[in-house]
Amino acid sequence: MAKIRWSHEAECWLKEIYKYIGQDNLSAAEKVVAGIFDKTQILRDFPQLGHKYREEPEGDIRILLYGHYRIAYMITEDSIDILGVFHGALDIEKYLP
């Protein structure tokens, strides 16, 4: 079972999502953030679940969908690194390493 690690940037994106949705509905914000977090936990057992976005020397960057959000992650030898959580309308290429 792979270990899941959240990058600082991914944690910041998640906090921003919470703050944005929470302006209108705190309950909905909690539900969305919990749903995103729960979705990433599936990767422990099924790391290849998301579609391959691109290959990097460090590992494959893959995208997992949750509602209107795309969860970018990289599979490395010993972990799954969550790189960011992006709204579907964003050009994630601007934000990925």
Write out the chain's pLDDT in tens, 97 residues. Answer: 789 999 999 999 999 999 999 999 999 999 999 999 999 999 999 999 999 999 888 888 999 999 999 999 999 888 999 999 999 887 878 877 7
Q: Show the domain range for 60.
A: 3-94
**Terminal alpha carbon distance of the chain:** 25
Q: At what angle do helices 26-41 and 8-22 cross, to 10 degrees?
A: 150
CATH, residue 84: 3.30.2310.20
**Number of domains, the chain:** 1
Helix, strand, or coil (residue 52): strand
